Amino acid sequence: MIFDIHVLFLGIACSFIVNKVHSASNSNISNSDSLVLACGAPTNATDNNGRSWIPDSKFLASSDNSIVATALSQDPSLPSTVPYMTARVFQSQFTYTFRISPKARHWIRLHFYPPSYNNLSSSNGFFSVTADGFTLLNNFSALITAQALTQAYIIREYNIVPIQTGILNLTFTPSPAYNGSFAFVNGIEIISTPELFQAAPLVGFSEQSVEVEQNTVQTLIRLNVGGQYIPASDDSGLSRTWYDDSPYLFGAAFGVTSQADENVRINYPTGLPEYIAPVNVYDTARSMGPDPKVNQNFNLTWVFQIDPNYTYLVRFHFCDYQMSKVNQRVFAIFINNQTAFPDADVIGWASAKGVPVYKDFTIQVSDRSGDEQLWVALQPNQTSVPEFYDVILNGLEIFKINDTKGSLAGPNPVPSPLATPMESEPKQFAPSKSRKTGLILGAVGGAAVGFALVIGFVAFLRRRKRMALGESSSIAGWLPIYDSSRSSETGTTISGKSCGSSRISNIGGSLCRRFSLAEIKNGSMNFSESQVIGVGGFGKVYRCFVDGGTEVAIKRANPSSEQGVHEFRTEIDLLSKLRHRHLVSLIGACEEHNEMILVYDYMANGTLREHLYKTKKPRLLWRQRLDICIGAARGLHYLHTGAKYTIIHRDVKTTNILLDEKWLAKVSDFGLSKTGPTLHQTHVSTMVKGSFGYLDPEYFRRQQLTEKSDVYSFGVVLFEVLCGRPALDPNLPKEQVSLADWALRCHSRGVLDDIIDPCIKGEMAPECLKHFAETAAKCLSDQGIDRPSMGAVLWNLEYCLQLQNNPDGPEFVVQQKANDAYAMHETLLTIEENDKISQETEDSSSNEIFSQIINPQGR
Ligand SMILES: *[C@@H]1O[C@H](CO)[C@@H](O)[C@H](O)[C@H]1NC(C)=O
Ligand SMILES: *[C@@H]1O[C@H](CO)[C@@H](O)[C@H](O)[C@H]1NC(C)=O
Ligand SMILES: *[C@@H]1O[C@H](CO)[C@@H](O)[C@H](O)[C@H]1NC(C)=O
Ligand SMILES: *[C@@H]1O[C@H](CO)[C@@H](O)[C@H](O)[C@H]1NC(C)=O
Ligand SMILES: *[C@@H]1O[C@H](CO)[C@@H](O)[C@H](O)[C@H]1NC(C)=O
Ligand SMILES: *[C@@H]1O[C@H](CO)[C@@H](O)[C@H](O)[C@H]1NC(C)=O
Ligand SMILES: *[C@@H]1O[C@H](CO)[C@@H](O)[C@H](O)[C@H]1NC(C)=O
Ligand SMILES: *[C@@H]1O[C@H](CO)[C@@H](O)[C@H](O)[C@H]1NC(C)=O
Ligand SMILES: *[C@@H]1O[C@H](CO)[C@@H](O)[C@H](O)[C@H]1NC(C)=O
Ligand SMILES: *[C@@H]1O[C@H](CO)[C@@H](O)[C@H](O)[C@H]1NC(C)=O
Ligand SMILES: *[C@@H]1O[C@H](CO)[C@@H](O)[C@H](O)[C@H]1NC(C)=O
């Protein structure tokens, strides 16, 4: 969506006494002065969460050197157009002056959305922000930060000490180090808070503590551990956002999550005000699981990226709603591998079941290498011989404490090579041209996306969004426009040949071989059309012969478009490090004369889709389909948990599941993959990518990418396999266009039988079908948290296979238990397996594990 540009100069310069805005939240805090400003907005406006934002024009202190601007493009992942689509832009130093209560601490939240504004390219947007002598940001680039975090927008939250003068000057200064640099801001929140901090022990220095209440802090992480995302509107009065913790879990040791029973009330004790954290934080938790033997051998560990050279406050929120006695669950708390507390006993602290308690620790992080990470680990304390070897955590917050110079600023994060480039600067959009509004549709997945398909997709999304927001808002502007103009910046890298080539030679050592262009041309009959076996977003896929007869598949970047350079590098980076029986192996690459070519194992039987429908090939048997689903699930499970970082595929679909000559399923096409969150922010949000029909609705709403988005897409694949029809079929009646919706509806009505592929109906054991459909339906749960992990999906598919082979087999008792058991075993399996290239040896080894679980002795 291209927006008209409004350039308004506002010459209002006055300071202003902040109105007391009565917040609509369920706050117990009396007399809060709060101010929620949409910068550059012409009038009062309400965002999608019902929060009202007022224009900032009354708070401009210095003279009229600011510009009001409207963003030139709207990223589909913005939660709301307010406050992100308008900005105030400063080309020289600029100060906002707020009159605030001199006794209270205040949140300062700054919202940045860095597309281009007017004729200013956001790549020049380097600036600093100070508040009452504290440096909040320095040499900050919202663009680079957003790229590195793969987020469209950035929110920074600070909690500032009381200002005696009662006047808060918030100053934006463009960096003098760059010509044409400017500062901008989209939203500012200034909200008074009660005293939230007190002295906290310094880990590693006995008897020392840091008086946090005298410092200004920046919020780095705020997690509802074992629970789900809590939006600002559901916070207990302080408009904080709480995120899911699972992206930060280290390795595969993810433990189990739980929720308090309905009959356990969360009782805030006197002295612990409800604003410390909402009930929703305390009534969910993550613990290790039921098996003490397993628990003895691992730590529940979270890893966060942080800036070195700062002291951090780590706040643990606990509430044990399962145990009721002292010494039932005793554990050690480690921060950065140092003992913060040796024998934590939540009941001991809180004195009763269901009573919240929080503990603060501070830790100094120096700038030795490796110190850009903060590790939080919990380990059952065996020396105190508790009744259960287990740990628990309900919530976690990490704050950065200002340094001696009053600074909180860190360097800009470095965008990882896996990060998606932001929408390029649309330089051609001069104001006069931009009148023409229109939709730019990307060819997602490269396939020809027919208009009918797009319409179907829009209808599908519109319904989803309505469901999500409880309102019918305009859908214009949040179509996936990103793919349309892969940035011109990447274009320059492709022509920088030397850079590209050196890159290839750097990779993977012996794992990735370099092919010469001559060799490839020769083997593919000079890229003959007769050798084309597929077309993807990246370019065409050819069959090719190398080494005098070895058949390979080559993927050639379309030389006429510069799309896909990024995908090319991503695939090389990822695939050269990953080896798995159920992932397509990258053999090598070729980058010569502006050609970019990836060389893979040849998959004799092509894609899964071409064996399911619209094909002349014989249809797959049910048993074969089940095997293929299990194989693909293994591949995805490995991506999610087997490597050092969680890898999220992001484009799971039947054309990305390939079949080799033995019908072994292999997951392919990592062009859109991302590693899980490893960088500074409190969550991983990203621009929506993927394929129509397979997109996780929650990912679309919240832009928080987790591996559960792949689980959703895989659920669509499972139904596609079961029903033998495409994920989206625009030729069908409206309610049937989206397979995900239609299958779910049929499943809930109990008429799924009607849409099962007639070719396989007769072969399915009814129990197997039932379980398979339930598994697929679970994958399609609207909320990520309700979807099973890929490990649990895999377990369930294995179980389906058992049911198919042995329909009279023993009914497995409690489904959820089984999933947990699987999680525990996975922990043992993969916890050691970090960077190492793991080759799943034989199916037999994993089958052993499954049979162990299926005969749950002693559980
Ligand atoms: C905007 O909101 C403020 C605070 O809620 C209110 O005082 C003001 O009257 C509103 N202005 C308009 C034009 O609605
Ligand atoms: C941007 O445009 C404004 C007027 O529209 C002009 O004053 C300013 O110099 C321009 N800035 C740049 C960097 O071209
Ligand atoms: C805030 O800014 C105003 C105007 O620039 C200035 O007069 C005042 O001294 C500043 N106050 C503080 C506390 O810095
Ligand atoms: C800024 O531009 C001027 C001329 O326009 C040039 O002399 C100067 O070196 C530039 N400075 C930087 C930091 O690029
Ligand atoms: C906060 O308000 C809620 C109702 O809005 C009330 O139930 C609770 O007791 C209050 N808490 C405190 C500490 O005042
Ligand atoms: C950390 O602080 C030390 C001493 O103040 C300084 O020499 C060093 O450059 C700082 N490191 C970083 C990464 O800022
Ligand atoms: C903590 O220990 C682990 C290995 O046990 C190591 O990988 C990690 O870097 C350590 N973290 C810190 C901050 O020292
Ligand atoms: C748990 O963490 C502590 C502190 O980092 C470490 O000493 C211990 O070896 C870890 N235990 C396991 C099983 O990883
Ligand atoms: C377990 O607790 C005891 C005291 O109860 C303590 O001495 C010991 O160091 C703790 N173990 C660990 C691993 O922290
Ligand atoms: C934070 O900044 C204040 C004001 O500059 C300073 O007094 C205080 O010592 C700083 N805190 C730390 C931990 O250095
Ligand atoms: C500002 O940030 C950019 C990008 O992170 C970095 O390259 C540059 O060195 C920084 N400049 C200063 C003066 O710190």
Residues 161 and 76 in one domain: yes
The answer to whether residue 343 sits within a structural domain is: yes
The answer to whether residue 184 sits within a structural domain is: yes
Ligand 1 close to Cβ of residue 18 (< 6 A):
no
> Are 572 and 589 in contact, with CB atoms under 8 Å apart?
yes
With 0-12 / 13-18 / 19 or more C-beta atoms within 10 angstroms meaning exposed / middle / buried, residue 14 is exposed
H helices within 179-329, ranges in order? 279-282, 292-296
The answer to whether residue 459 sits within a structural domain is: yes
Atom of ligand 2 nearest to the CA of 119: 1
Residues 370 and 223 in one domain: yes
Residues 46 and 123 in one domain: yes
Ligand nearest the Cα of residue 337 is 8
Ligand 2 close to Cβ of residue 92 (< 6 A):
no
Cis amide prior to 726 (ω within 30 degrees): no
Distance 266 CA to ligand 5 centre (A): 12
> Are 616 and 822 in contact, with CB atoms under 8 Å apart?
no
Distance 382 CA to ligand 8 centre (A): 13
Residue ranges lining ligand 11, Cβ < 6 Å = 126, 139, 141, 144, 177, 411-412
The answer to whether residue 607 sits within a structural domain is: no
Helix (H) or strand (E) holding 242: none
Q: Which residue has the tokens 């600070």?
A: 158
Ligand 2 close to Cβ of residue 180 (< 6 A):
yes
Pair of tokens at residue 131: 């508040």
Atom of ligand 9 nearest to the CA of 383: 1
Distance 28 CA to ligand 5 centre (A): 6
Alpha carbons 604 and 553: distance in angstroms, whole number: 10
Residues 547 and 623 in one domain: no
Residues 321 and 232 in one domain: yes
347: left (phi over 0), alpha (psi -120 to 50) or beta: alpha
Helix (H) or strand (E) holding 540: strand 539-546
- The CA distances from residue 644 to 303, 503, 836, in Å, are 12, 21, 9
Domain boundary among 401, 430, 450: 401
Instruction: Determine which residue's CA is closest to atom 11 belonging to ligand 1.
Output: 44
Residues 448 and 387 in one domain: no
Distance 181 CA to ligand 4 centre (A): 12
The 3-state DSSP class for residue 661 equals coil
* Per-residue model confidence (pLDDT) at position 459: 31
- Dihedral, CA of residue 558, residue 564, residue 565 and residue 571, to nearest 10: -110
Ligand 6 close to Cβ of residue 79 (< 6 A):
no
Alpha carbons 423 and 444: distance in angstroms, whole number: 15
The enclosing domain of 437 has a CATH number of: 3.30.200.20
The enclosing domain of 329 has a CATH number of: 2.60.120.430
Ligand 9 close to Cβ of residue 194 (< 6 A):
no
pLDDT per position as a tens digit, 829-848: 222 232 333 333 333 333 33
Distance 452 CA to ligand 2 centre (A): 42
Instruction: Determine which residue's CA is closest to atom 3 belonging to ligand 1.
Output: 54
Ligand nearest the Cα of residue 22 is 1
Residue-range definition of the domain harbouring residue 98: 35-193
The answer to whether residue 74 sits within a structural domain is: yes
Instruction: Determine which residue's CA is closest to atom 5 belonging to ligand 8.
Output: 337
Distance 169 CA to ligand 3 centre (A): 6
**Dihedral sign (CA 142, 145, 148, 153):** negative
Ligand 5 close to Cβ of residue 204 (< 6 A):
no
Phi/psi at 475 (nearest 5 deg)? -95, -10
Alpha carbons 716 and 704: distance in angstroms, whole number: 19
Please state whether beta strands 105-112 and 66-70 pair in parallel, antiparallel, or not at all (unpaired): unpaired
Ligand 6 close to Cβ of residue 204 (< 6 A):
no
Ligand 5 close to Cβ of residue 290 (< 6 A):
no
Using 70 as the pLDDT threshold, list the residues of the chain that sit under it.
1-32, 61-64, 76-77, 150, 251-253, 369-371, 415-512, 536-538, 558-571, 573-577, 642-646, 670-691, 700, 702-704, 807-859
Distance 97 CA to ligand 3 centre (A): 8
334 forms bridges with which residues in the sheet?
339, 377
Residues 439 and 531 in one domain: yes
Instruction: Determine which residue's CA is closest to atom 3 belonging to ligand 8.
Output: 337
> Are 199 and 336 in contact, with CB atoms under 8 Å apart?
no
**Dihedral sign (CA 408, 411, 412, 416):** negative
Residues 373 and 445 in one domain: no
The answer to whether residue 9 sits within a structural domain is: yes
Atom of ligand 8 nearest to the CA of 375: 5
Distance 177 CA to ligand 4 centre (A): 9
Instruction: Determine which residue's CA is closest to atom 14 belonging to ligand 6.
Output: 309
Instruction: Determine which residue's CA is closest to atom 14 belonging to ligand 2.
Output: 119
Instruction: Determine which residue's CA is closest to atom 6 belonging to ligand 9.
Output: 342
Distance 438 CA to ligand 2 centre (A): 26
Which residue from 337, 365, 398, 832 has its CB within 8 A of the most atoms of ligand 7, so it is best to mutate? 337
Ligand 5 close to Cβ of residue 272 (< 6 A):
no
pLDDT per position as a tens digit, 705-756: 778 889 999 999 999 999 999 998 888 888 888 899 999 999 999 898 888 9
The 3-state DSSP class for residue 510 equals helix
Ligand 6 close to Cβ of residue 308 (< 6 A):
yes
Q: How many domains does the chain have?
A: 4
Ligand 5 close to Cβ of residue 273 (< 6 A):
yes
Alpha carbons 515 and 523: distance in angstroms, whole number: 11
Residue 555 assigned to a binding site: yes
Atom of ligand 11 nearest to the CA of 412: 5
The enclosing domain of 849 has a CATH number of: 1.10.510.10
Please state whether beta strands 94-99 and 66-70 pair in parallel, antiparallel, or not at all (unpaired): unpaired
Residues 241 and 209 in one domain: yes
Pair of tokens at residue 487: 């940035």
Domain boundary among 134, 169, 193: 193
Ligand 6 close to Cβ of residue 364 (< 6 A):
no
Residues 278 and 336 in one domain: yes
Any idea what DSSP says for residue 549? T
The answer to whether residue 117 sits within a structural domain is: yes
Atom of ligand 2 nearest to the CA of 7: 5
Max CA pair span of the chain: 81
Q: Residue-wise over 527-552: b if at least 16 C-beta within 10 A, else e?
A: beeebeebebbbbbbbbbbbeeeeeb
The per-type count for the chain, helices as H runs and strands as E runs, is 19, 38
Which residue from 96, 97, 160, 163 has its CB within 8 A of the most atoms of ligand 3, so it is best to mutate? 97
Q: Which amino acid is at 735?
A: E
DSSP string, 5-60: ---B-------EEPP-----S----TT--EEEEETT-SS-EE-TTS-EEEESGGGB
Alpha carbons 2 and 471: distance in angstroms, whole number: 24
Atom of ligand 10 nearest to the CA of 405: 5
Q: Which amino acid is at 460?
A: F
**Dihedral sign (CA 51, 55, 60, 63):** positive
Distance 124 CA to ligand 4 centre (A): 13
Alpha carbons 689 and 819: distance in angstroms, whole number: 29
Instruction: Determine which residue's CA is closest to atom 10 belonging to ligand 1.
Output: 44
Distance 371 CA to ligand 7 centre (A): 9
Q: Which of 82, 181, 180, 58 is nearest to 127 (CA)?
A: 181
Ligand 5 close to Cβ of residue 851 (< 6 A):
no
Residues 294 and 318 in one domain: yes
The answer to whether residue 410 sits within a structural domain is: no
Any idea what DSSP says for residue 178? S
Alpha carbons 188 and 86: distance in angstroms, whole number: 12
Residues 812 and 671 in one domain: yes
Instruction: Determine which residue's CA is closest to atom 6 belonging to ligand 11.
Output: 412
Ligand 10 close to Cβ of residue 401 (< 6 A):
yes
Q: Which of 675, 673, 665, 597 is nearest to 643 (CA)?
A: 675
Q: Is 4 a catalytic residue?
A: no
Distance 132 CA to ligand 3 centre (A): 9
Ligand 8 close to Cβ of residue 827 (< 6 A):
no
Ligand 5 close to Cβ of residue 76 (< 6 A):
no
Pair of tokens at residue 292: 């003490």
Query: Of 33, 244, 307, 651, which is the active-site residue?
Result: 651
Instruction: Determine which residue's CA is closest to atom 9 belonging to ligand 7.
Output: 370
Alpha carbons 813 and 802: distance in angstroms, whole number: 15
Ligand 10 close to Cβ of residue 407 (< 6 A):
no
Atom of ligand 6 nearest to the CA of 366: 1
Which residue from 139, 309, 365 has its CB within 8 A of the most atoms of ligand 6, so it is best to mutate? 309
159 forms bridges with which residues in the sheet?
107, 217
Domain boundary among 555, 571, 601: 601
